[in-house]
Amino acid sequence: MAEITMKNVVKKYGDGFPAVNDVSLDIADGEFMILVGPSGCGKSTLLRMIVGLEDITSGDMLIGGKRVNDQAPRDRNLAMVFQNYALYPHLSVFENIAFPLRLRKNLPEEEIRKKVEAAAETLELTEHLDRKPGNLSGGQRQRVAMGRAIVRDADAFLFDEPLSNLDAKLRGQMRTEILRMQRRLGITTVYVTHDQTEAMTLGDRVALLRKGEIQQVATPRELYEHPVNMFVAGFIGSPPMNFVPAESIDGQLKLPFVTFDLPAEMREAVGDRHHVIVGIRPERFDDASVIDDAHRGGGITFPVDVEVVEWLGNEQFAYIPYDVDDELTSGLSELEKELDSERMRSQLVVALDPSSRVTDQSKAEIWFDPRHLHIFDVDSGENLTNEVVVAPAATA
Amino acid sequence: MSGRKTSNWWTFWGILILIWAAFPLLWMVSLSFKDPTTFRSAEPSFFPQEWTWTNYETVFSDELFTSALRNSFGIAIIATAISVVIAMFASYAIARLDFRGKKLLLSMALGIAMFPQAALVGPLFNMWRGLGIYDTWIGLIIPYLTFALPLSIWTMSAFFRQIPWEMEQAAQVDGATAWQAFRKVIVPLAAPGVFTTAILTFFFCWNEFLLAISLTSTDRARTVPAALSFFTGASQFESPVTAVMAASVVVTIPVVILVLLFQRRIVAGLTAGAVKG
């Protein structure tokens, strides 16, 4: 049990490239903290700095209040599950789990056996104890790796993308398994992933990194509803948030496909900016024809030409192209690149109610509530409306 | 049908090559059992007309051979042990650590392996006499190490490189010191490589002739390959051929045993299952 504190931690590689840049993070005792971000954002490096496999260039790393910068990994009493499990192939499952215990001096054989069997019991590995890791399935290997971690009463668990080698179904199961185990043991956990579903479902809090810098540390809900900038807004959510260049003219917001009055609070936040980027999550839109009148009041509707519709049973997505000056989208394409997606063209992704009968190549009326949109600064990408709480419209 | 045909061809060529390769060996064994006085008989035959152990008795009663056998075993085993231990540490360092001059070290090792031994015999002979280690075990072990190490380092570092880094890091996180991680995780995983290297080194030392004959003069350090060339028969008037053959059979036996014993260990693949395959 321990809290982990990072103060202005920096990791520079030989060529001076900062893989982790000035990260400060407090992880409370017993907290499940997720480090998430696109590949190359430094999340794994940060984890390896916590465990001691990477040197810390500058800054302080404290575990349980003690500075550990200069401690070897074995003195930090942390348990880590590696991406490809790193099981010892020459040892049986029993010996794999017992390995950390055997390294401690004067631990009686009897006690080792008891602890290993208890761990195996929790992970349902009892019948596999005599087998070699090479003969186990992916999920079983994963559990052995976890067994090796839980057997030793470590101060914290560290996971480095532990589920990325499993197939989709197993991944879902193991995710719940990890969550259940963490809740029961109540051990501080740091979990690195690039998968936002894992990030959102597992974490008490999520730290989103970009190019070695922390963008936002918040609960998953906070991250989704109040992203601090366009990067966070674009990373969290699937399909990703729509970013639309817009002009603010006399209290009105002019989008390529609709112009409407801004709520007063937002108007204030936008200030005298002329160009802004508007972010709207696909699920905030809907087909106007399936919205009942009680809901409709606060929102606005506009006509569109639907290009393609994808129906998935529990939801459906419509793709709606629109025209916009290339000049205005130049900043956006850079962001897209960072988020590992290609910006093919200007289009709106809209999640519709599955009962909606909108079809490909048809005209439709789309509804959305302006209170749910985010407005970002064009240059800094900062969310201008983050603190704005718009009063519910009178009709709602 | 065509699959059957090709496999027949393979069998045919396989047997042909086997006969080709085994013939001298069989000839050697056969000769070693022939009677030394009559083996050049008027009607030559491949197999001895009369099987006899005389030649083996001759070689084992000959001090020249028994001391050579002792020397061979001693020198080959000591040289192998030292070479494997040094090569293990050296190749671990080469595979895992970043240090200045790594490239230089590797290319020098390769250079030494390529160096013609014959060019060294003369200088070594003079140096060893000056140092007083001419005709001693150590006088042979040192040059054997020189020539065996580069090869050992190259083979073993290839094996070490195959072992995932994460094995070691996991061990460190689990609480192992660098030495414990090396001993409990890396060495067992590299065992096939260590065995392969050890056997190759042993063969090299066991079979070496040039240095053995140049740097020894008496029973003190002369190894079997060198001793064989000094063989005479039981008496001056007897041809030593059959006795030499018997001695050759004796020195071949350890090699064959080693290969049979360790052929499974030599086959790599112990790391299967370490990481997601």
| Three-class SS of chain B | CHHHHHHHHHHHHHHHHHHHHHHHHHHHHHHHCCCCCCCCCCCCCCCCCCCCCHHHHHHHHCHHHHHHHHHHHHHHHHHHHHHHHHHHHHHHHHHHCCCCCHHHHHHHHHHHHHCCCHHHHHHHHHHHHHHCCCCCHHHHHHHHHHHHHHHHHHHHHHHHHHCCHHHHHHHHHCCCCHHHHHHHHHHHHHHHHHHHHHHHHHHHHHHCCHHHHHCCCCCCCCCHHHHHCCCCCCCCCCCCHHHHHHHHHHHHHHHHHHHHHHHHHHCCCCCCCCCCC
Q: How far is CA A390 from the centre of its chain?
A: 26
Range A76-90 average pLDDT: 90
Q: Touching check for B276 and chain A: CB below 8 Å? A: yes
Of A111 and A290, the structure prediction assigns the larger pLDDT to A111
**From A246-250, A259-263, B2-6, the region with the lowest mean pLDDT:** B2-6
- Segment B81-106 shows an average pLDDT of 89
* CA gap B226, B230 in Å, rounded: 7
**Residue B225: inside a domain:** yes
Chain B residues with CB under 8 Å of A51 CB are 173
CB-CB under 8 Å, A86 with B170: yes
Backbone phi, psi, residue A5, to 5°: -125, 130
Whole-angstrom CA distances from A391 to A266, A371, B1, B101, B196 are 11, 8, 84, 70, 77
pLDDT at B20 > cutoff 90: yes
Interface of B with A in 175-214 (CB under 8 A): 175-177, 180, 184-185, 188-189, 191
Distance from CA of B91 to the nearest CA of A (A): 21
What's residue A94's pLDDT? 94
CB contact under 8 A, A134 and B188: no
Verify whether the Cβ–Cβ distance B172 to A72 is below 8 Å: yes
B266 shares contact with chain A (CB less than 8 Å): no
Residue A358 has pLDDT above 60, yes or no: yes
Q: A51 and chain B: CB distance < 8 Å anywhere?
A: yes
**A88, A133, A152: residue with CB nearest B185:** A88
Is residue A93 within 8 angstroms of chain B, CB to CB?
no
Helix (H) or strand (E) holding A310: strand A308-311
User: Is B172's CB within 8 Å of A88's CB?
Assistant: no
Stretch B151-155: mean pLDDT, rounded? 86
For the segment B263-269, the average pLDDT, to the nearest whole number, is 56
Q: Which of A83, A103, A165 sits opposite B180 (nearest CB)?
A: A103
Confidence (pLDDT) at A250: 84
From B100's Cα to the closest Cα of chain A, the distance in A is 15
Q: What is the CATH number of the domain that holds B86?
A: 1.10.3720.10
In a domain, B147, yes or no: yes
Contact B173 A74 (CB under 8 A): yes
In a domain, B179, yes or no: yes
| A100/B174 CB distance under 8 A | yes
Partner B, chain A 123-142, Cβ-Cβ below 8 Å: 132-136, 138, 141
Compute the count of residue pairs across chains A and B with CB atoms less than 8 Å apart. 85
Q: H helices within chain A, ranges in order?
A: 43-51, 93-103, 109-122, 138-150, 168-185, 196-202, 220-225, 230-235, 264-270, 293-296, 326-338
Decide: B39 and B45 in contact? Cβ < 8 Å. Answer: no
Percent of all residues in chain A with a pLDDT value above 90, rounded to a whole number: 37
Q: Residue A179: exposed, middle, or buried by beta-carbon count in 10 A (0-12, 13-18, 19+)?
A: middle
Confidence at residue A394, expressed as pLDDT on a 0 to 100 scale: 41
Q: Identify the band that residue A23 occupies on the pLDDT scale cut at 50, 70 and 90.
A: very high
Using pLDDT thresholds of 50, 70 and 90, give the confidence band for residue B277: very low
Tell me: the pLDDT tens digits for B240-263? Answer: 788 888 888 988 888 888 878 876
The phi, psi pair for A151, rounded to 5°, reads: -70, -15
Is the Cβ–Cβ distance between B226 and B213 less than 8 Å?
yes
Residue B77 and residue B67: Cα distance in Å, rounded?
15
Q: How many domains does chain B have?
A: 1
Q: What is the pLDDT of residue A270?
A: 86
CA-nearest residue of chain B to A132? B273
Give A351's contacts (C-beta < 8 A, 6+ positions apart).
A239, A282, A283, A285, A286, A315, A316, A317
Could you tell me which residues are beta bridge partners of residue A305? A363
- How far, in Å, CA of B141 to CA of B133, rounded? 11
Answer yes or no: is B41 within a domain.
no
Least confident of A57-61, A120-124, A219-223: A120-124
User: Which amino acid is it at A102?
Assistant: R
The Cα of A21 is separated from the nearest Cα of chain B by a number of Å equal to: 24
In a domain? residue B117 = yes
The pLDDT score that the predictor gives to residue B140 is 92
Residues of B in contact with A88 (CB under 8 A): 167, 170-171, 185, 189, 274
Contact yes or no for A89 and B272 at CB 8 A:
yes
pLDDT of A395 reads 38
First to last CA, chain A: 48
Residue the block writes with tokens 């969310």: A383
CA distances A392 to A182, A207, A220, B226, Å, are 39, 31, 24, 102
| pLDDT digit string, tens, across residues B49-82 | 778 888 888 888 888 888 999 999 999 999 999 9
| Residue ranges of B 31-90 with Cβ closer than 8 A to chain A | none
Average of per-residue pLDDT across B159-186? 88
**What domains sit in chain A, N to C, each tagged with a CATH number?**
4-225 (3.40.50.300), 240-377 (2.40.50.140)
| Residues in chain B closer than 8 A to A89 (CB atoms) | 189, 270-274
Mutate to test the interface with A, among B169, B172, B173 (most CBs of A within 10 A): B173
For residue B187, the enclosing domain spans 63-230
- In angstroms, what is the C-alpha Rg of chain A? 25
Tokens of B164: 């995932």
Q: Which residues of A250-268 are buried (b: 16+ CB within 10 A; e: fewer)?
A: eeebebbbbebebbeebbe
How much is the pLDDT for B266? 57
Residues of B in contact with A137 (CB under 8 A): none
Cα separation, A56 vs A12, whole angstroms: 8
3-state secondary structure of A105: coil
CA distance B247 to B105: 40
Report yes or no: B170 at the A interface, CB cutoff 8 Å.
yes
State the Cα–Cα distance between residues A358 and A190, nearest whole angstrom.
44
Judged against a pLDDT cut of 70, whether residue A192 lies above it is answered with yes
| B134 within some domain | yes
| Per-residue pLDDT, B269 | 39
* Confidence band, pLDDT 50/70/90 cuts, at residue A106: confident
Pairwise CA distance, residues A239 & A196, whole Å: 11
**Cβ within 8 Å, pair A87-B274:** yes
pLDDT at B42 over 80: no
Of these ranges, A2-11, A288-297, B111-120, B225-234, the one predicted with the greatest mean pLDDT is A2-11
Domain assignment present for residue B257? The answer is no
Q: pTM for the complete prediction?
A: 0.78
Nearest to B175 among A74, A89, A135 (CB): A74
HSE of A304, CA atoms in CB hemisphere, 13 A:
31
A105 lies within 8 A of chain B by CB: no
A73 interfaces chain B, CB cutoff of 8 Å: yes
Q: Give the up-direction half-sphere exposure of residue B109: CA atoms within 13 A in the CB hemisphere.
A: 20
The answer, for A211 touching chain B at a CB cutoff of 8 Å, is no
CB contact under 8 A, B173 and A165: no
Indicate whether this complex's ipTM tops 0.90: no
Residues of A in contact with B169 (CB under 8 A): 53, 73, 82, 86
